[in-house]
Amino acid sequence: MHHMQFHHHGYVSGEPRIQEAAGIGLNRPEELPAQMDVLIVGTGPAGMVAAAQLAQYPDVHTRIIERRPGRLVLGQADGIQARSVETFQCFGFAERIINEAYRITETAFWNPDPEHPGHIVRTGRTSDDAHGISEFPHLIVNQARVLDYFAEFARRSPARTVPDYGYEFVTLEVQQDEEYPVLVTLRRTEGEAEGEEFTVRAKYVFGGDGAASRVRKAIGRRLEGDSANHAWGVMDVLSETDFPDIRTKCIIHSDAGSILHIPREGGFLTRIYVDLGEVPEGGSKAIRATPFEDVVKKLNEIIHPYTLEVKDVPWHSIYEVGHRVTDKFDDVPVEETGSRIPRVFIGGDACHTHSAKAGQGMNVSMQDGWNIAWKLGQVLSGRAAESLLDTYSAERQSVAVDLINFDKEWSTLMATKTEQFSKPHEIEEFYVKTAEFPAGFMTEYSEGQLTGGTEHQALASGYPIGKRFKAAPVIRRCDALPTQLGHQAFADGRYRIYVFADREAPGADSRTERLAEWLGSSPESPILKFTPEGEDFGARFEVDVVYQQRYTEFEFTDAHPTFRPKTGEFGVRDYYRVYSAGTITDINFPERAGEEPDIFDLRGISRDGAIVIVRPDQYVANILPLDAREELTEFFGRSMLPQR
């Protein structure tokens, strides 16, 4: 993606994605040690993302355990929302996973044919992202591959994190006054010592151990919500069929039942969810015993007049799910929040479960894991106060609740018989109207320690405070590279301070220039205040500037030195922080330069400039005017600890 930076510590001849080992990564114990900073339970999406992000904090000793003997092979989730692909970009593997995935461009709707009772007919199609909510695609790829990429990232990161397979979590207790307060009982699940129990100690535990989470049970939390489950027969199949939309995502309703049909990556495999209805009380065992042949028979009844003959079934399952959520995602009782530090956190299915149909589960779980991980990294590396950890449950629990409420409306619509809709196109309209939800962009964190108020929102109306930072086209000045601002942000645990310049030319006396001078030299500058002496200027914060001038109207060297910071032991300048507000048209058709809307137009940024602060997990934290000083330092000071 042209954003990787290397050679600044000396020549790199091998794979540049393998970072230099540091901290714990220099001599990481092979065996699970008796004590560690963070113990992550479960290598699902929540746990694996958390391990990947924490591997960027090499002074934090993180372990991730898994009861299986090795990596996940197949099954589980496969829907990847655009928000997740944005996340993959941050972790450096979006392009590779896009190349191997199935891309959803539209959804086809099939309903009973009024002319031919007992037949289905295609009644509509909706584009998957007609509103341009993201420049990234909506993908289908097996969860196992997603986990592989995060595992690769963790292994190549400075901490050299790899999962410890063959251990299962039994229980834990928190002993407040110890240095490693969480006493965890584990059991070996393989090898000569199989079945043997032993204890380890951790400062913090993150449970990403699924809907039957023992970590959740150990902290006394319960999943609450639907009393009844909904059952689905799900299969990955190779088939012979005359159904014309076999390679298109479909929602099929017929008098015989409903299907969610998902083509899988690779061109041949398809995943089919056959609705088996609500599970009556005590009926779970009977439904789970449904023979595979019966599910295939029902599938064929639903798609009549078409037929589907199964040739191979790599995976199938009877899957029961309800909408449920726990009241809090950590171990501190609601009434004691703020009075003591949370030590145990849960994420993913351990604290919220969703219907299969909206394709939410894996996506939301990854954001849980990312959210807790950068916060644990900041606290354990001495950058932030422990109070930061209260924000995990506060932020993610409300996201889960919103999602479940939305998911319920969605599921009700999916299960409604066609004749019950007041308008036949209701479900399609709902699908489009709420395009942000399926793409994963509804999350909006509210004002607090990490999220500023909206006083200055008007300075950049297209970056809603508390929502994810939406990339937009710019030109990197040093090499005239048309790119997207946001795509350069690597998951390295740093905050990003985007300075959108005022109208003055780079280097001229201006509010932008004075801000740069202050950021680079004042002891009150958040960058100097919160970065330890001796570390690079860009060690804890990345400062990027976007000038309004065309890239041909100024030189990279005109930008203030703060925007060209020295890096590495040779003190070489970072060329990648200076941008021009243009698009590829400026380069390809210079005579038409400036005709297209630029980032200032697209994101409603004031031509008087603005500062946009983005968190390590890509959410917009605050917007301030260019002459903000105390407000800027105060904002970071809410969670960060002074380093000098």
Q: Mind listing the domains of the chain with CATH numbers?
A: 34-92+142-224+325-426 (3.50.50.60), 102-136+227-321 (3.30.9.10), 457-637 (3.40.30.20)
Residue 396 pLDDT more than 60? Answer: yes
Long-range contacts of 118-125 (CB under 8 A, 24+ apart): 118/255, 118/304, 118/305, 119/304, 119/305, 120/252, 120/253, 120/254, 120/302, 120/303, 120/304, 120/305, 120/306, 122/244, 122/245, 123/424, 124/425, 124/428
What's the Cα-to-Cα distance from 349 to each of 173, 504, 577, rounded to whole Å? 22, 51, 39
3-state SS string over 513-530? HHHHHHHHHCCCCHHHHC
d(CA 254, CA 407): 22
d(CA 446, CA 399): 11
Q: Which residue shows structure tokens 């997603």?
A: 146
What's the Cα-to-Cα distance from 550 to each of 190, 476, 597, 617, rounded to whole Å? 62, 11, 13, 30
Q: Which amino acid is at 396?
A: R
> Higher pLDDT residue, 71 or 55?
55
Sheet holding 610-614, edge to edge: 481-485, 472-476, 578-580, 541-547, 495-500, 610-614, 620-624
The radius of gyration of the chain's CA atoms, rounded to the nearest angstrom, is: 26
> Higher pLDDT residue, 129 or 368?
368
What's the token pair of residue 96? Answer: 């590779």
Least confident of 98-112, 153-167, 224-238: 224-238
Residue 268 pLDDT more than 80? Answer: yes
Task: Read off the pLDDT of each residue in 92-102 and give the average, rounded to a whole number.
Answer: 95
Q: Which residue shows structure tokens 């207790």?
A: 173
Q: What is the pLDDT of residue 306?
A: 97
d(CA 407, CA 434): 11
- On the CB side of 466, how many CA atoms lie within 13 Å of its CA? 17
**Burial of 135 from C-beta contacts in 10 A (0-12 / 13-18 / 19+):** middle
For 120-138, write each residue's pLDDT tens digit. Answer: 999 999 887 766 778 888 8
Q: What is the band of 441 on the pLDDT scale with cuts at 50, 70, 90?
A: confident
Residue (of 564, 579, 609) closest to 486 by Cα position: 579
Residue 380 pLDDT more than 80? Answer: yes
Residue 620 pLDDT more than 70? Answer: yes
d(CA 277, CA 302): 14
Q: Which helix (H) or strand (E) holds 185?
A: strand 182-188
Other CB atoms closer than 10 Å to residue 132's CB: what's the count?
A: 8
117 - beta bridge partners?
none
For 274-284, write each residue's pLDDT tens digit. Answer: 998 888 888 88
Q: What is the band of 424 on the pLDDT scale with cuts at 50, 70, 90?
A: low
Q: What is the band of 238 on the pLDDT scale with cuts at 50, 70, 90?
A: very high
Other CB atoms closer than 10 Å to residue 101's CB: what's the count?
A: 22
What's the token pair of residue 108? Answer: 């086809």
Q: What is the band of 414 on the pLDDT scale with cuts at 50, 70, 90?
A: low
Task: Read off the pLDDT of each residue in 191-203 and give the average, rounded to a whole number.
Answer: 96
**Burial of 561 from C-beta contacts in 10 A (0-12 / 13-18 / 19+):** middle
> Higher pLDDT residue, 90 or 75?
90
What's the Cα-to-Cα distance from 497 to each of 79, 268, 319, 479, 528, rounded to whole Å? 32, 45, 45, 22, 14
Helix axes 143-156, 45-54, angle to 10 degrees: 20
What's the Cα-to-Cα distance from 22 to each of 27, 53, 67, 159, 530, rounded to whole Å? 9, 15, 28, 6, 21
485 - beta bridge partners?
472
- Say which residues have a Cβ less than 8 Å from residue 535's Cβ, sequence separation at least 6: none
Q: What is the pLDDT of residue 409?
A: 76
Q: What is the pLDDT of residue 593?
A: 83
Q: What is the pLDDT of residue 95?
A: 94
d(CA 620, CA 443): 11
Dihedral of CA atoms 465, 469, 471, 477 in degrees, nearest 10, equals 90
Task: Read off the pLDDT of each residue in 182-188 and give the average, rounded to a whole number.
Answer: 98
For 321-367, write each residue's pLDDT tens digit. Answer: 888 999 999 999 999 999 999 999 999 999 998 876 666 788 999 99
Residue 320 pLDDT more than 90? Answer: no
Task: Read off the pLDDT of each residue in 444-457 and give the average, rounded to a whole number.
Answer: 95
